[in-house]
Chains A and B, each alone.
Chain A
Amino acid sequence: AQSVTQPDIHITVSEGASLELRCNYSYGATPYLFWYVQSPGQGLQLLLKYFSGDTLVQGIKGFEAEFKRSQSSFNLRKPSVHWSDAAEYFCAVAPFTGGGNKLTFGTGTQLKVEL
């Protein structure tokens, strides 16, 4: 069964600083990988996804993520964080893009941005 590990429960960064949120997955084949963001009391917004091809994927709000097969990782990055980026970030994995295959989520990383 697939699993996702987000080792950082909380991260605090200063506005304007760079950000990297870690995600490691466990799955027998190459999975499909996602990052979602959730503001307090809100739903899940898709930031970006990786299905195949270029291992560096660009998403919304200036985020990007890099798939590294050798490290089983899919870390999320942003070069300059804005105060509005404060939220919870979830990494998720699926065997493929649909067909009744469930997403498995990590436990999330809570991002705090200091002004």
Chain B
Amino acid sequence: EPEVTQTPSHQVTQMGQEVILRCVPISNHLYFYWYRQILGQKVEFLVSFYNNEISEKSEIFDDQFSVERPDGSNFTLKIRSTKLEDSAMYFCASSEYGYTFGSGTRLTVV
């Protein structure tokens, strides 16, 4: 069964540093998403991406965040100048008719 692949599985970064989280969506899917789950809380929508542009973003997705599809397979989330409260599990998903989630990247900001 096709999978969404996320790397790295864990990342520890110092406050103020930039991080890039990577995702390889399912190859024939056209819609891509990033979600965030702070420990013990619900999964929150960050951004959706279609046809090389953002189609919707939440209020969480401020100027600190950006997304990119640098080539035909990768989909990245960049967080500039990380803050302690950015510590969370970040999930990538892709969809065609149904949503498939990756296994997540656990980001810890220290």
The interface of chain A, by Cβ under 8 A from chain B, is 34, 36, 41-44, 46, 49, 90, 92, 94, 97-108
Contacts and interface: CB of A to CB of B under 8 A. Distances in A.
A100 B31 contact: yes
Contacts of A103: 33, 35, 43, 45, 93, 99
B75 interface: no
Contacts of B49: 100
B68 interface: no
B31 A105 contact: no
A82 B103 CA distance: 23
Contacts of B91: 43-44
Contacts of B97: 97-98
Nearest to A108: B42
12 contacts: A42-B103, A42-B104, A44-B101, A46-B98, A46-B100, A97-B95, A98-B99, A102-B45, A102-B58, A103-B33, A105-B43, A107-B41
Contacts of B33: 102-103
B56 interface: yes
Counting contact residues on chain B (CB < 8 A from A), the size range is 20 to 34
Contacts of B106: 41
B43 A99 contact: no
Contact of A43 (B30, B48, B58, B101): B101
Contacts of B99: 34, 46, 94, 98, 103
B27 to A, nearest CB: 15
A98 B43 contact: no
Contacts of A43: 91, 101-104
